[in-house]
Amino acid sequence: MSLGDILDGSDAREVKRRERSAGPRRERRLLRRLLRPEPVFWGLFSAGGFVAALLLPIHVAILGIAFAAGWLPSRVLSYERVQHLVHLPLVKLYLWGLVALPLYHWAHRFRFAIYHQFGIVRWKRLVAVGCYGTAIAGTAVSAWVLLGI
Amino acid sequence: MSTGGRPRYPVYVPEYPRSWWLETGPYRRFAAREITSMFAAAFSGLLLLFLFALSRGREAYEGFLRWLKLPGVVALFAVILVAVLYHMATWFRLTAHIQRVRVGRTVLPEGAVVAGLVAAWIMASGIVLYFYIWF
């Protein structure tokens, strides 16, 4: 291949920027570029990562391992006690955060795992909506369940 | 093809296989780190099932507790625990790498930040344990 062929191939692959008009629509366009939802989801991803790192291990160890192994006193997870605890509003808030925030952490990581690791580029927006939508749905469902206890 | 005096440069488009993350050790550990988020979300789902059973009355709740004692479920929780601990280790290392903590004119070494986060984890675990068992 000659240099001319290589340069022609590059030119063919180049994505040319569309000529955009100045004027009133330009401000709306710039505003839309500023007010993107990504930073919110990134912040929730970070919060979920801290919840998952600081709080999840002990919860998994207690609920999953210690209870089944019989290391807990029998009244710890009794129906009355848990009902009493979950009725406290602070506990409800805590449980809501414990359920909802790791979902955002998963959503962000899973979306970029699909994009970067599996190389699926075509349905970028659909994947993003699916991931964050699942997290939002989980948040709503957990709020509904907790308010109904 | 553009005419005119604009200089032309060849564009480098890297091509790599979709299984690039399986190739070297560091790539695989990176992929493992990303996968741990699925186990964290799985525990969120299990906690939601717990709350759902609680909301449906004593029968459903005690059935859920019986389900928690099944060996398959305990194995699942063991896998989740390992994944979440790996997430914690990588998350703390990452936070120390990203966040520079300055004291006056010096910057704390990364090990100090990790130690601080581990101390916070121990305290948080202790508080959760207290509320679970003795409150």
**Model confidence at A110, in pLDDT bands (50, 70, 90)?**
very high
**Model confidence at A8, in pLDDT bands (50, 70, 90)?**
confident
pLDDT digits (tens, 9 = 90+) for B25-63: 999 999 999 999 999 999 999 999 999 999 999 999 999
Per CATH, the number for B22-83 is: 1.20.1300.10
Q: Is the pLDDT of residue B2 over 60?
A: no
**3-class SS string, chain A:** CCHHHHHHHHHHHCCCCCCCCCCHHHHHHHHHHHCCCHHHHHHHHHHHHHHHHHCHHHHHHHHHHHHHHCCCCCCCCCHHHHHHHHHCHHHHHHHHHHHHHHHHHHHHHHHHHHHHHCCCCCCHHHHHHHHHHHHHHHHHHHHHHHHCC
A10 in a domain, yes or no? no
Task: Write down the pLDDT at residue B8.
Answer: 78
A131 in a domain, yes or no? yes
Distance from CA of B46 to the nearest CA of A (A): 9
Domain ranges of chain B: 22-83, 99-135
Whichever domain contains A61, its CATH number is 1.20.1300.10
Alpha carbon distance B55, A44 (integer Å): 27
A19 in a domain, yes or no? no
Q: Is the pLDDT of residue B118 over 80?
A: yes
Give percent of chain B above pLDDT 70: 96
A63 in a domain, yes or no? yes
A111 in a domain, yes or no? yes
Parent domain of A136:
37-147
What's the number of CA atoms in the CB half-sphere (13 Å) around residue A33? 5
A14 in a domain, yes or no? no
Q: Tell me what the mean pLDDT of segment A106-114 comes to.
A: 94
- Total of domains in chain A: 1
Task: Write down the pLDDT at residue B52.
Answer: 95
Q: Is the pLDDT of residue B13 over 80?
A: no
Q: Is the pLDDT of residue A4 over 80?
A: yes
**Model confidence at B3, in pLDDT bands (50, 70, 90)?**
low
A20 in a domain, yes or no? no
Contact A104, A44 (CB under 8 A): yes
| Greater pLDDT, A1 or B90 | B90
Q: Tell me what the mean pLDDT of segment A131-144 comes to.
A: 96
Task: Write down the pLDDT at residue B39.
Answer: 96
Task: Write down the pLDDT at residue A5.
Answer: 83
Task: Mark yes or no for CB contact A11/B8 under 8 Å.
Answer: yes
Which of 93-112 (A) contact B at CB < 8 A?
95, 98-100, 102-103, 105-106, 109-110, 112
Which of 37-56 (B) contact A at CB < 8 A?
37-38, 40-41, 43-45, 47-48, 50-52, 54-55
Q: Tell me what the mean pLDDT of segment A120-143 comes to.
A: 93
Q: State whether residue A128 sits within 8 Å of chain B by CB.
A: no
Which of 72-111 (B) contact A at CB < 8 A?
73-74, 76-78, 80-81, 84-85, 87-88, 91-92
